[in-house]
Every structure is written in structure tokens, then in C-alpha cells.
Chains A and B, each alone.
Chain A
Amino acid sequence: DAGVTQSPTHLIKTRGQHVTLRCSPISGHKSVSWYQQVLGQGPQFIFQYYEKEERGRGNFPDRFSARQFPNYSSELNVNALLLGDSALYLCASSSVPGVQETQYFGPGTRLLVL
């Protein structure tokens, strides 16, 4: 079975631009979470979505937004990019959004903002 897939794998943008990252969860999983991982640090929670609704949000500015589609795939959007947004963006899926549900991570999208 295919795991969590993310696209693109790598992306280069300039300051002020907008970016859209995509994630497809494991088949049968209905919850998707997004994380930002800056080099040398642990993943930082951005959002969790289930059944197209936001179920959790981390401490990120309003420039970050996300949505989930009827097929449970998800997009993360970042507006007005800053140099500090350069990071590995990880998507994780779980069968339901419960706190004790195991999350499975994709390989990530590496974003570089110049």
C-alpha cells in the first residue's frame, strides 16, 4: 500500500510569493496534519484537518492556511513568504483525529525561500 505522498519534493520561491503544498493520505485515513521542520529542530505543528474541518491549530501566523478535500487530500498554503519560512513541510495522516491515533508521515516538501 502507498504511504503518505507529498508534492512537490522540492520548491524554490522568493520573498513575498505564495506557495501551495499538497498531500495525499494513506488510503482509508481521513485526518491530515501539517508540520514545519526547520533544519536541526523537531517538527512544529501547524494544522490538523478531519472531514474538511480544522480540528487543531498551532502557533503560526494567518499567512498559513490549509484545506482538506472530499477525497481527504489536503493543501497547505503560505502567503507573503519570508526567508524564515524555509523548512521541510511534513504531512501526516491518521485514520481519525483522536489524540491517541498514530500519525504516519510523508517524505516532506523542502521549501527554500530566497
Chain B
Amino acid sequence: GENVEQHPSTLSVQEGDSAVIKCTYSDSASNYFPWYKQELGKGPQLIIDIRSNVGEKKDQRIAVTLNKTAKHFSLHITETQPEDSAVYFCAASMSTGGFKTIFGAGTRLFVKA
């Protein structure tokens, strides 16, 4: 079945350093890849997304890359700040057998001041 693998499960960086989270997906029909940030007690909040016809997208300190051949996409956060500390989820959306979105297991990011 469809699957999204996310690594690492935990990431600790020093304030100002960069953080990279990587995901792979199994269903080649996937064509939309959002990233969400979830803080304690809240629902996931979209931070950036990328569509299958684009290889890279950047929004200030956040960038996402997509390699459809390898079924691999990554989130890059530069100049990390303590408020970036949260759980980050990647996801892949597809229309195989109906619309659905599959999430990765999450990465808990700690940014140390």
C-alpha cells in the first residue's frame, strides 16, 4: 500500500544552524507534497508545499526539494530559531482509489538557544 517514510525521527540543532528532514514515498501517482508544523496541543499547520511539476520551492528560511524519479523530497530550514522547535510532518497526496493524503511519522525538531 501507499507509504511515506520520514527521517530522522528526532533532530537537535544549535540556533542558527540548518535543519534537513527527508521523506520518501511509494506511490508514483503522488503529485502534491505538503509539509506541516505541529506544536503541542494544536493541529498541523501548513508551512510549505510543492507540486509534482516543480523541483524546488523556497519561502524565506524554508525550502523544499522534490525528486520524482527517486520518489524523494526534503525540507530545509536555515538560520533556525528556538521557535522553530516543533514536530514536522511530510505528506504525499494522490488520487489512487480516491483522494487521500499519507503522512510521514514526523520529526521532532529541537533548536537549542
Question: Taking A42-B103, A42-B106 as contacts, is the C-beta distance between A99 and B43 under 8 angstroms?
Answer: no
Contact of A103 among B4, B34, B51, B94 (CB under 8 A): B34
Contact of B99 among A40, A55, A105 (CB under 8 A): A55
| A58 engages B32 (CB within 8 Å) | no
| B103 engages A43 (CB within 8 Å) | yes
Interface residues on B, range: 20 to 34
Complex formed: what's the CA distance from A100 to B53 in Å? 11
A22-50 CB contacts (< 8 Å) to partner B = 33, 35, 40-45, 48
Chain A count of residues within 8 A CB distance of the other chain = 30
Complex formed: what's the CA distance from A108 to B39 in Å? 12
The answer to whether A56 has its CB under 8 Å from any CB of chain B is yes
Chain A residues with CB under 8 A of B49:
102
Contact of B104 among A4, A42, A101, A104 (CB under 8 A): A42
The answer to whether B89 has its CB under 8 Å from any CB of chain A is yes
Chain A residues with CB under 8 A of B100:
45, 48, 56-58
B51-99 CB contacts (< 8 Å) to partner A = 51, 89, 91, 93-95, 97-99
| A100 engages B31 (CB within 8 Å) | yes
10 closest A-B pairs by beta carbon, nearest first, are: A42-B103, A56-B98, A105-B43, A56-B99, A100-B32, A56-B100, A99-B95, A99-B93, A105-B44, A107-B43
